[in-house]
Amino acid sequence: MRYLTDRKRAAGLGSAKSGTEHHWHMMISSVALVGLVPLFVFTFGRALGMGYEDALAYYARPFPAIVGILTLLVGFYHFKGGVQVLIEDYVHGFARKALIIGMTCLSYAAAAVGVFAIVRIAL
């Protein structure tokens, strides 16, 4: 028994119309994090033992600031996608919609606060 029509199979879309696209977004963000997290650990690790003035000067350089911002943005995007899948799988009804909206707002707000903090230090 086939659940996909020929048109859906050719277009690569399942019944929900966005599962494949969501999977690819998660794969791309996870591959990006494979490179970004070690760079972030390396750049953040160098700043751990510094004093306040030295840390400000260190993050005023473009490379550590850009690595920090990219890690935050990609990390929270990946977090949002993962938690959304978790909510869709285990929560039903109105609570599902409310939790997805709340989680999306929380992840975007946390990313914005992190980027603002790094930009404030860098400038």
Let me know if residue 9 belongs to a domain: no
Let me know if residue 7 belongs to a domain: no
Range of the domain at 83: 17-122
> pLDDT per residue over 56-97, tens digit each?
999 999 999 999 999 999 999 999 999 999 999 999 999 999
Domain count, the chain: 1
State if pTM tops 0.85: no
Closest-CA residue to 87 (of 103, 72, 65): 103
Q: Is 74 exposed, middle or buried (0-12, 13-18, 19+ CB in 10 A)?
A: buried
CATH number of the domain at 59, please. Answer: 1.20.1300
Per DSSP, 50 falls in state S
Closest-CA residue to 55 (of 65, 67, 66): 65
> pLDDT per residue over 14-36, tens digit each?
556 677 888 899 999 999 999 99
**Rounded Cα gap, residues 21 and 6, in angstroms:** 19
**Rounded Cα gap, residues 20 and 64, in angstroms:** 34
